[in-house]
Structure 1
Amino acid sequence: MPAIQLTDRTVILAAGPDARSFLQNIVTTDISALAEGEVRPGALLSPQGKIVFDFVISRAGEDTFRLDCRRDIAEAFLKRLMLYRLRAKVELSLREEALIAVSWDNDSTASQNDSTLLDRRFPEMLGVLRHYGKAVAEECDIGLWHRLRIEHGVAEGGWDYAFGDAFPHDVLFDQNGGVGLAKGCYVGQEVVSRMHHRGTARRRLVIVEGEAPLPAPGMEVTAEGRTIGALGSVSDRIGLAIVRIDRAAEANAAGTPILAGGVKLSLRPPAYARFSLTESGGKEGTA
């Protein structure tokens, strides 16, 4: 049972009688569909529809929600949330001392005390759990956690994309529960909705495998000298990349090598994704 302390993460709490409606009106996650015992991904967008902050969110008691985010963006994220609070009856606080850990491949289950939660970004059979307020006694290498993310197509801001640069569709938030496509208005919703209904998402997160160890994150992914994307997280010969799926599909159809820093790559969508790289144009599946 690998267990890892995520020292680069912290928690913002949103508590009060208006906490649910406050969050429902500004973030991408459908808060009304968030169940106890689970964490789901989400983001706060710019009015132009790009991800400014991302997080995983969970219930932490009655009228209380836990936003688990990168430590290095937490203060800026809190300030942005404060701007939207206005007269809402919600208290926002940064819990810098929060302990966050992950574990998987174990027989544990989500708890009823809001401290051990199932991470819905991963297949349930993996048993990936998020632990709050728990110190790990025998910690494993954090590289194991990043490799798990890579293998299952779970992107995170700061590792796989720059904040302010990616649309939710780019990192598959529309397909992994990070966007409530049926919910009402939230910041950036019009852009996300238009992209979804018109099927205009051109960039998508893919899993890449190299014939040799992959170069560093940020390296361009190319086909015949034309840039089609860039690498995110890497672990030896496997990594994540955000690519133009139309260009990747064209390269695959033509038998054109796809490269990153001279390393030949094979690309595939995550298992949960609803798009293909085998047809010209990068065909989207149905929801």
Structure 2
Amino acid sequence: MADAFYTILEHRGLLAVAGEDRKTFLQGMLTNDITAVAPDRAVWAALLTPQGKFLHDVFAVEMGETLYLEGEQARLEDLKARLSKYKLRAKVKLAVAEGWEVAAVFGPGAESRLGLPENNPGAAMPFAGGEGLAFTDPRLPGAGVRVLVPTEKAGPLLEDAGFTAAEFTRWDAHRIALGLPDGSRDIEVEKGTALESGFDELHGVDFKKGCYVGQELTARMKYRGLAKKRLVPLTVTEGPTPAAGTPLLTPEGKEAGTVRSAVEGHALALVRLEHLEAPLSAGAATLRVDLPDWVALPAPKEATGG
């Protein structure tokens, strides 16, 4: 059997949300349907500003009587503070969860090795006899599995499950090639939007769930096709891998976007829609957009008198 790998995502951590109102509280905060979260089901969602701008991306899971939001480790206190502002009289308790690691598991048969069904994004189940939780990445088949595991046992438990340790860059290249964002590395805080970043096609927004913070702009962008940029993967065809933050230019020298993250000849960048088919440059590198088949671009608008 071909190797499957695990990478400890040290930049990700957990915020615990406990209390009897935990689901109804988060339902009014996050972009996805939190009532769907269960011991066997995880979802991906965003916390937005009231103006619909990006703040945090989270994977929401349930273990016991607690919901856990897997988010950026260095920004968990910010996530907690922003959620706390809306708590009012809701019976919820928010706390950064200590003693946990988040691992990404990827490669052929990653789901089946853990007993998870294949081609079922968001499927979840206990890991290692209930010591942790494994869930298929809710965004896209082929993205792999996320595993929440106690810190002191992370490596041994994952290796006992048949996985080989891999460097962070190997996982990073895997998710970049698929076009999957990784929090604020790829989505600019208080500037980016959910739909520019793929939350619609990647099952991160529920447009039927009712109100949540930032819903108005998100719905307007969806139904009016207002997005002008998209976060997309690119492949370096010549030259060195560009650094994050490098501007993308068209052959005519027009600014087409910005590289958000890059590794080993692959990049994820926010690109203006009108330049997706052009050869682009970033510093000394030449790149092409490799638009994934899951991306649904807005239909071109017919000219009107308005």
TM bucket (normalised to shorter chain) is: 0.7 to 0.9
Q: Distance in 2 between matches of 1:53 and 1:158?
A: 7
Structure 1 residues 176 and 2: alpha-carbon distance in aligned structure 2, compared to 1, 3 A threshold: same
Q: Distance in 1 between matches of 2:39 and 2:20?
A: 17
Aligned residues: 272
Q: Which amino acid in 2 is paired with 1:260?
A: A
Q: Does 1:52 align with 2:55?
A: yes
Q: Secondary structure at the match of 1:259?
A: strand
Q: Distance in 2 between matches of 1:60 and 1:221?
A: 43
Q: Normalization by structure 1: what TM-score?
A: 0.87
Q: Distance in 2 between matches of 1:194 and 1:126?
A: 29
Q: Which residue of 2 aligns with 1:94?
A: 96
Q: Distance in 2 between matches of 1:176 and 1:214?
A: 26
Mapped contact 1:25–1:186 kept (Cα < 8 A): yes
Q: Does 1:220 align with 2:247?
A: yes
Alignment of 1:261-280 (within 5 A): 261-275=283-297
Q: Which residue of 1 aligns with 2:133?
A: 115
Q: Which amino acid in 1 is paired with 2:272?
A: R
Structure 1 residues 202 and 35: alpha-carbon distance in aligned structure 2, compared to 1, 3 A threshold: farther
Q: Which residue of 2 aligns with 1:135?
A: 154
Q: Which amino acid in 2 is paired with 1:76?
A: D
1:189-227, Cα deviation, whole Å (9 max, x unpaired): 011011111111111111101113321011111112111
Equivalent of 1:236 in 264, 269, 276: 264
Q: CA deviation at 1:8?
A: 1.6
Q: Distance in 2 between matches of 1:129 and 1:102?
A: 5
Q: CA deviation at 1:37?
A: 3.1
Fraction of identical pairs, as percent: 32
Q: Which amino acid in 1 is paired with 2:62?
A: R
Equivalent of 2:195 in 163, 166, 169: 169
Q: Distance in 1 between matches of 2:98 and 2:154?
A: 15
Q: Which amino acid in 2 is paired with 1:135?
A: A
Q: Does 1:73 align with 2:95?
A: no
Mapped contact 1:49–1:192 kept (Cα < 8 A): yes
Q: CA deviation at 1:157?
A: 2.1
Q: Normalization by structure 2: what TM-score?
A: 0.82
Mapped contact 1:101–1:136 kept (Cα < 8 A): no
Q: Which residue of 1 aligns with 2:204?
A: 178
Alignment of 1:203-218 (within 5 A): 203-212=229-238, 213-218=240-245
Q: Distance in 2 between matches of 1:53 and 1:32?
A: 19
Q: Which residue of 2 aligns with 1:18?
A: 21
Q: CA deviation at 1:76?
A: 1.2
Q: Distance in 2 between matches of 1:155 and 1:94?
A: 23
Mapped contact 2:102–2:146 kept (Cα < 8 A): no
Mapped contact 1:109–1:118 kept (Cα < 8 A): no
Q: Which amino acid in 1 is paired with 2:253?
A: G
Any unmatched runs of 5+ in structure 2? 117-124, 157-163
Q: Which amino acid in 1 is paired with 2:69?
A: L
Q: Distance in 2 between matches of 1:145 and 1:282?
A: 38
Q: CA deviation at 1:181?
A: 1.4
Mapped contact 2:56–2:184 kept (Cα < 8 A): no
Q: Distance in 2 between matches of 1:229 and 1:77?
A: 28
Q: Distance in 2 between matches of 1:143 and 1:183?
A: 37
Mapped contact 1:9–1:70 kept (Cα < 8 A): yes
Any unmatched runs of 5+ in structure 1? none
Q: Choose 104-113 or 40-49, whichever is displaced more.
A: 104-113
Q: CA deviation at 1:126?
A: 5.7
Equivalent of 2:224 in 198, 204, 229: 198
Across the aligned residues of Structure 1 and Structure 2, the Cα RMSD in angstroms comes to 2.2
Q: Secondary structure at the match of 2:154?
A: coil
